[in-house]
Structure 1
C-alpha cells in the first residue's frame, strides 16, 4: 500500500487550489465587461410548461441553443440579443410525446426547424432586471413577445477562464397565435417559457 505523507498531501492541495480559486460572481452591472457574448450551449436551457387537461403543469425543454448578446452595461437599453433554438431538440419525459411534438400536428420540426428570438427593445427595471421585447418566430409565425430578464451573475469561469454572464428569462405566449393549435383548450394555450442563459465573452 502506498502511503502519502501529510506534507505531500498539503503540497498537492496547495498546487491544485489556484486552478479552482474563484472570485464570486457579481450581480453589479457596473462590474460586467462590455462586449459581444456567445451562448454557452452546454449550460443554457430553454424550458416550457403547459397545462395538461387542468390536472397538471407539464414541462419539457429544448437544447443546443446558439446566439449572441451585445452587452453594454453602462447603457443597458442598448443591449441586443439574438438566439436560435433547434425545434428538433425538444425533449420531454415521454419518448412518445417527444416524437409527436416534432411532428406535423405540433411543432413540425421538419418544415420549421428553428425557433428564434431577436430583441427589439430593452427596458431596464432597477439594477439587475429588464423587460426585453423581441420578435419570436415559431412554426413559421413571427410575433412580439416580452421576457422578464434577471441577472444571475457575471465573472470569470474558474475552469475555462472565460468571462461569463448568466441571466434568467421568463415569459408567456399563446401557442395558438403561432399556429400550434392541437388540443386547445384541452391542452393549455398558454405556454410558459423559462430560459437559463449562459453567455461567454468573445475575444
Structure 2
C-alpha cells in the first residue's frame, strides 16, 4: 500500500489551513430584520422661517443585508406605513394623511429600496435608492453611519444599528402645498436597530 509522502501531507495541511483562514476572513452577508420599536424616520422643515417642525414615521418594516467584506453586495428595503405618521397634533395628522398631502387612503405606505451601497469612509456608507411616495419614485442618497454591529446585550442576537440622513424636495413627490413659504426641502433623519436570527 502506497503511503503519502511527508511533503504531500504538509502541503495538504497547508491547503486546509488556508481554506479555514479564508472562510474566517470572508464572512457571509448577514440579513437583519428591522425592529419597529427602535426605528424612526424624522422629517424636519422650515415653517415660514418661524419654526422647524418635525413629524415622525414609525411602525417601519424592513430588511438590511450587510456584507462587511463586500459592501456593494449590501442592500436595504424599508416600508413606512402612513398609519405610523405622528406629529403629536391629531388635526395635523389628519391633514397630512388627507389628499392635500400623502393621500394615505389611496397610498397607505412609502417605500425605499436601495440600488447601490458604497463605502464612504470609516464606519460610513453611501446608500442610494428609490424612494416611492404616492406612486412617485425618485432617487435618494442616504449618508449612513454604522453605529454598532455585534451581539445585543439583552437578546444575544446579532444586531446592527445605523443612522442616516438625506435631504429631499417634497414637491418631487406631489406634496408641494404652500411651497415656497413653507420650505420645499425636507431633512430626513433615520435611526434603526435590526436583528438577525440567533447563531
Give the aligned partner of residue 152 of structure 2: 157
- Note the 1:92-107 alignment, pairs <5 A: 92-107=87-102
Distance 2:184 2:117 in 1: 26
Distance 1:97 1:104 in 2: 13
CA contact (8 A) 1:35 1:202 kept: no
Please list the CA deviations of residues 89-146 of structure 1 after superposition, one character each: whole Å capped at 9, or x if unmatched.
1101222111111111011111111110000011211121011110000122001000
Deviation at 1:56, TM superposition (A): 1.1
What secondary structure, in the 3-state scheme, does the structure 1 residue paired with 2:93 have? helix
Give the aligned partner of residue 184 of structure 1: 179
Distance 2:155 2:28 in 1: 17
CA contact (8 A) 2:147 2:161 kept: yes
1:125 aligned residue (120, 129, 140)? 120
What secondary structure, in the 3-state scheme, does the structure 2 residue paired with 1:191 have? strand
Structure 1 window deviating more from structure 2 (165-174 vs 68-77): it is 68-77
Number of aligned pairs?
Answer: 174
1:56 aligned residue (48, 51, 57)? 51
Give the aligned partner of residue 70 of structure 1: 65
Please list the CA deviations of residues 20-43 of structure 1 after superposition, one character each: whole Å capped at 9, or x if unmatched.
xxxxxxxxxx9x973111101111
What secondary structure, in the 3-state scheme, does the structure 1 residue paired with 2:86 have? coil
Give the aligned partner of residue 43 of structure 1: 38
The alignment yields a C-alpha RMSD, in angstroms, of: 1.7
Deviation at 1:71, TM superposition (A): 1.2
Distance 1:93 1:52 in 2: 16
- List runs of 5+ in structure 1 lacking aligned partners: 1-29
Structure (1 or 2) with the larger CA radius of gyration: 2
Distance 1:127 1:48 in 2: 26
Taking structure 1 as the reference length, what is the TM-score of the superposition? 0.81
What secondary structure, in the 3-state scheme, does the structure 2 residue paired with 1:96 have? helix
Distance 2:88 2:82 in 1: 16
Distance 2:180 2:28 in 1: 46
